[in-house]
Structure 1
Amino acid sequence: MFNYIKFAITQIVGFIFSLIPLSIFKSSPDKYSQEDKSRFLNLHAKKSLKRVKINLDIKGRENIPDEPALFVANHSSMLDGFILMASIEKPFGCVIADEPVWRNIPIVRKWASLVKCVYMNRENNREGMKSIIKAAENIKNGQYMAIFPEGDLTWVKDNSAIISDFKAGALKIAYKAKCPIVPVAIKNSKDTYEGYQPYGKINSKDVCVEFLKPVVEHIENPRCKTIELAEKIRCSMIESIVN
């Protein structure tokens, strides 16, 4: 519980201090790049993980293309968002579940808007498609995006799975943007956080994040089925985790 208290205090202090750069960025949006806006969150995520001794071993950064892409990551821990933010040096926005707990935190909501995060309605297909189109537009406009295509924590969906089945529709973002997909295998994060709520027990662990080679099959062959591509990507990520 002590780790959680340290982590929570880091969030409170960090986001209070973030009000100054947040105000500056919002008052002069054209003066600052997405790199400038994302740098604060990247450093904050690194500091938060370091405070609770979650050490990252990042591999395969050379596989991140210079052109905007869709990062696809597995999701075993409530801390995976922080792990992803600390691992990706490029400016990126996340596709986030459209839940009140994420939409209603004032400072978090403002930062999410600033870095072009997109809320995904998982209950309404029409609204979900609007989110997919918006995320694709962000990529076309030069912004990297990231998504956890399992749609929930791995162990919540299937406690026996290394990575649970993907919601293949998530890949439509890359189809519409005609951008590469970069699979991101997050290894050993499950035990970093015990619980399924914004509060829980945080454990100090070593976590490996590996960026796999970009996938471009859907660009070369737009008729490639999302279900088949999703399963191929999922299997490559499992192979990375197992090996």
Structure 2
Amino acid sequence: MFNYLKFATYQIFGFSCSIPKLNKIKKNPDNFTNKEIYDFLHKQAEKSLKLVNINLTIKGKENIPNQPVLFICNHSSMLDSFILFSSVDRPIGCVVADEPVWRSMPIVSSWAKLTKCVYINRQNNKEGIKSINEAANNILKGQSMAVFPEGDLTWVKDPDAIISEFRSGALKIAYKAKCPIVPFVIKNSRYTYEGYQPIGKINSKDVEVEFLPPIYDHIENPKLKTIILGESIRDKMIESINKFNQNN
């Protein structure tokens, strides 16, 4: 529980100390680049993981094209968003479940808005399409985006799965933006956080993340069904995790 208390205290401290910078950005947003805004979340995530001895090994950064992309991430821990923001050093926005807790979280919700995070309503198809279009427009304007297409924690959806089935509609973001998809594979994060609530137990672990080669299939063939593309991406990500497990 000590790790959790350290981690939670640091979030309160870090985000509270960011208020002056947050107010400056809100007052004169044109004076700040996307990189300057994103760097706060990137460093906050890095320091948060180091504080509780979650050590990241990052592989495959050379696979990220020098253009805006859609990152596709697996999701087995409540800390995966910290792992994502810590690993990606270019500005990204996340597609986040449209839940009141995320929209109303003090300070954090303001940073989410500034970094162009998009809330998606998974119960309303019409609203979901609006969110997909918003995320695609962010990419077209130069901002990479990230999505956890499982839609929930892997072990919550399917306790026996390495990566659970994708909600393949999320891939439409890349179709509309005509951008590459970069699979982002998180390995060994399952027990970094025990629980499914805001309060849980944090365990120190070595975690490996890998950026797989970019995917252009949907650009070359716009009629390719998202469900087929999703299964292909998921298979590649599972293969990467299996290789890691065999070697560890």
Q: TM-score when scaled to structure 1?
A: 0.99
**Distance in 2 between the 1:206 and 1:3 partners?**
15
Aligned to 1:123: 123
1:237 and 2:234 equivalent? no
- Partner-residue secondary structure (3-state), 2:241: helix
Aligned to 2:33: 33
- Partner-residue secondary structure (3-state), 2:29: coil
1:93 and 2:79 equivalent? no
- Unaligned stretches of 5+ residues in structure 1: none
Residues 50-199 of structure 1 mapped to structure 2, 5 A cutoff: 50-199=50-199
**Distance in 1 between the 2:82 and 2:131 partners?**
22
Aligned to 2:214: 214
After TM superposition, the structure 1 stretch with the greater mean CA deviation from structure 2, 224-233 or 24-33, is 24-33
For residues 176-204 of structure 1, the C-alpha deviation after alignment (integer angstroms, 9 at most, x for no partner) is 00000000110000000000011100000
Deviation at 1:101, TM superposition (A): 1.1
Number of residue pairs the alignment of both structures matches: 243
Deviation at 1:145, TM superposition (A): 0.2
- Unaligned stretches of 5+ residues in structure 2: 244-248
Q: TM-score when scaled to structure 2?
A: 0.97
Deviation at 1:106, TM superposition (A): 2.0
- The one-letter amino acid paired with 2:125 is N
**Distance in 1 between the 2:3 and 2:19 partners?**
25
**Distance in 2 between the 1:9 and 1:36 partners?**
24
Deviation at 1:44, TM superposition (A): 0.4
Aligned to 1:9: 9
For residues 13-48 of structure 1, the C-alpha deviation after alignment (integer angstroms, 9 at most, x for no partner) is 000011011111111111111000000110000000
Deviation at 1:161, TM superposition (A): 0.3
**Distance in 2 between the 1:120 and 1:242 partners?**
31
Deviation at 1:10, TM superposition (A): 0.4
For residues 25-82 of structure 1, the C-alpha deviation after alignment (integer angstroms, 9 at most, x for no partner) is 1111111110000001100000000000000000000111111000000000000000
Deviating runs (4+, > 3 A) in structure 1?
none
Aligned to 2:18: 18
- Partner-residue secondary structure (3-state), 1:196: coil
RMSD: 0.5
For residues 67-110 of structure 1, the C-alpha deviation after alignment (integer angstroms, 9 at most, x for no partner) is 10000000000000000000000100000000011111120110
**Distance in 2 between the 1:12 and 1:130 partners?**
32
Deviation at 1:2, TM superposition (A): 0.3
- The one-letter amino acid paired with 1:40 is F
- Partner-residue secondary structure (3-state), 1:30: helix
**Distance in 2 between the 1:32 and 1:62 partners?**
27
**Distance in 2 between the 1:20 and 1:186 partners?**
33
**Distance in 1 between the 2:88 and 2:120 partners?**
21
Deviation at 1:166, TM superposition (A): 0.3
